């Protein structure tokens, strides 16, 4: 039974959110991403895994909270410091909100099991948007349900578009753009895998909305779309990977959402250049001209965002288990893996150059870069333990190291709070916060 009642949208909340949404930029763009915090899975529309906050070089363990089950996605953080995370639990809540200062649980809810695949995205009014198997949902900052919209599949982590709407793709390949105030579809759903025809419908097998979620981590054929799209807020183009029915691996795909009076979703290009495919979310360069992605054969790729042509590839020496962190000036730090060390490469246009490398560190987390040339990731400590290291992004030098008390295995994301807090959930189900 759900802990949060599925009531109608509260009028006062909708009016307040609409007033805030109306305050767009001079170019007509509606910026729903908070200027501070970590509002989306990979921080922003382009999946940069970076923060404009100047990171501290002397953090300390502040608190941790067990979540009751495995975690598969990052924690997100609102501009007011309220954090949100999901978990796979047998009973009780599987969507949690915590107060940053104390670690006290503010509210929680029980959603369908597919919620574990989604990092809640947060807007400037601290409204929360999160998927479950068969639906996308929105809550207020106090946990009241705003709306629930049915979809095919399980929405993976969402993004906002340049006109302020909510865009997401389910693991079964359905693309939706919703009005964030009402949950109504702005444009008809776009199915990457066409549904059965009318003639086939009577005999077609009903596909469960949670089908293939366990395969999304590896990006295999059972999970056609395994990651969060990177969105160019200026052009409406968005980039993701897609394992089609006749494909041998996941392709990198570009599509475009156009708003206005006649909204549409259209195809741009796709490329099968990534050997072995990928499960990681692609990320977009600051100027929107290059898409970066890691493959399943140990390389980092840079692709022309306009044409899909390859700019360069670079052998990082291991299969990355997450998305890279990409700074505004083109410093790229791949995520770790079972045998992944810490390194950084720099985009030089037609090739990549190694900036620095730390083969002495087994990276078992996902890096995040902040202002002030400061980065954070999780590495092996001792035989089985984990620690958060703070490092200089220009040199790779370790400037601080702090133990994750009792943590083993690996962590599934690194997020930065509005005051420079560092959040990382372990895969076995505990959220750690450093200040």
The predicted pLDDT at position 216 comes to: 87
Say whether pLDDT at 226 is over 60.
yes
Say whether pLDDT at 397 is over 70.
yes
Share of the chain above pLDDT 70, in %: 91
The mean pLDDT of 47-63, rounded to a whole number, is 97
65 vs 25, higher pLDDT: 65
The predicted pLDDT at position 203 comes to: 64
The predicted pLDDT at position 11 comes to: 36
pLDDT in tens, 236-256: 999 999 999 988 899 999 999
Per-chain mean pLDDT for the chain:
91
The predicted pLDDT at position 25 comes to: 46
16 vs 306, higher pLDDT: 306
The predicted pLDDT at position 141 comes to: 96
| Separation CA 104–CA 62 (nearest Å) | 12
pLDDT in tens, 105-158: 999 999 998 999 999 999 999 999 999 999 999 999 999 999 999 999 999 999
The answer to whether the beta carbons of residues 308 and 254 sit under 8 Å apart is yes
User: In terms of Cα–Cα distance, which of 425, 389, 398, 396 is closest to 410?
Assistant: 425
User: In terms of Cα–Cα distance, which of 332, 397, 328, 323 is closest to 365?
Assistant: 323
**Please, is 428 exposed, middle or buried when counting C-beta atoms within 10 Å of its C-beta (0-12, 13-18, 19+)?**
middle
The predicted pLDDT at position 178 comes to: 98
The predicted pLDDT at position 151 comes to: 97
pLDDT in tens, 66-98: 999 999 999 999 999 999 999 999 999 999 999
Q: If you search the block for the tokens 């693309």, which residue do you land on?
A: 175
Low-confidence winner among 1-5, 118-122, 273-277, 291-295 (lowest mean pLDDT): 1-5
The mean pLDDT of 181-210, rounded to a whole number, is 83
Share of the chain above pLDDT 90, in %: 81
The predicted pLDDT at position 396 comes to: 98
The predicted pLDDT at position 3 comes to: 42
373 vs 26, higher pLDDT: 373
The mean pLDDT of 39-53, rounded to a whole number, is 97
The predicted pLDDT at position 27 comes to: 54
Q: pLDDT band at 198, cuts 50/70/90?
A: low
The predicted pLDDT at position 197 comes to: 65
Residues 6+ apart with CB under 8 A from 351: 312, 314
Q: pLDDT band at 199, cuts 50/70/90?
A: low
Q: pLDDT band at 292, cuts 50/70/90?
A: very high
The predicted pLDDT at position 173 comes to: 96
């Amino acid at each position: 039974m759900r802990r949060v009642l599925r009531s109608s949208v509260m009028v006062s909340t909708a009016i307040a959110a609409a007033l805030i949404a109306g305050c767009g930029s001079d170019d007509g763009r509606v910026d729903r991403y908070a200027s501070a915090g970590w509002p989306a899975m990979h921080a922003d529309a382009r999946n940069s895994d970076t923060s404009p906050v100047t990171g501290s070089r002397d953090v300390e363990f502040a608190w941790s909270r067990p979540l009751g089950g495995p975690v598969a996605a990052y924690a997100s953080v609102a501009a007011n410091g309220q954090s949100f995370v999901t978990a796979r639990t047998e009973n009780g809540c599987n969507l949690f909100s915590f107060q940053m200062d104390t670690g006290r649980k503010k509210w929680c809810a029980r959603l369908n099991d597919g919620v574990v695949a989604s990092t809640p995205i947060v807007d400037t009014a601290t409204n929360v948007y999160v998927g479950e198997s068969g639906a996308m949902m929105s809550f207020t900052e106090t946990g009241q349900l705003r709306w629930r919209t049915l979809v095919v599949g399980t929405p993976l982590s969402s993004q906002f578009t340049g006109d302020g709407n909510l865009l997401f793709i389910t693991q079964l390949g359905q693309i939706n753009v919703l009005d964030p105030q009402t949950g109504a579809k702005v444009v008809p759903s776009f199915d990457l895998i066409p549904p059965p025809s009318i003639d086939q419908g009577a005999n077609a097998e009903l596909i469960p909305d949670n089908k293939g979620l366990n395969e999304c981590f590896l990006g295999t054929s059972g999970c056609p779309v395994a990651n969060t799209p990177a969105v160019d807020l200026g052009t409406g183009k968005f980039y993701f990977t897609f394992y089609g029915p006749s494909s041998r691996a996941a392709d990198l795909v570009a599509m475009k959402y156009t708003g206005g009076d006649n909204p549409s979703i259209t195809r741009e290009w796709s490329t099968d250049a990534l050997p072995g495919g990928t499960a990681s979310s692609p990320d977009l360069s600051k100027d929107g001209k290059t898409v970066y992605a890691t493959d399943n054969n140990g390389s980092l790729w840079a692709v022309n965002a306009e044409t899909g042509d390859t700019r360069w590839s670079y052998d990082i020496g291991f299969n990355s288990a997450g998305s890279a962190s990409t700074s505004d000036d083109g410093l790229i730090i791949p995520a770790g893996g079972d045998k992944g060390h810490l390194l950084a490469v720099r985009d030089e246009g037609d090739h990549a150059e190694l900036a620095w490398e730390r083969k002495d560190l087994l990276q078992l987390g996902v890096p995040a870069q902040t202002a002030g040339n400061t980065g954070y990731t999780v590495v092996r400590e001792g035989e089985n333990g984990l620690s958060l290291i703070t490092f200089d992004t220009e040199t790779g030098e370790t400037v601080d190291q702090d133990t994750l008390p009792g943590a083993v295995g690996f962590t599934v994301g690194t997020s930065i709070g509005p005051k420079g807090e560092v959040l990382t959930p372990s895969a076995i189900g505990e959220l750690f916060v450093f200040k």
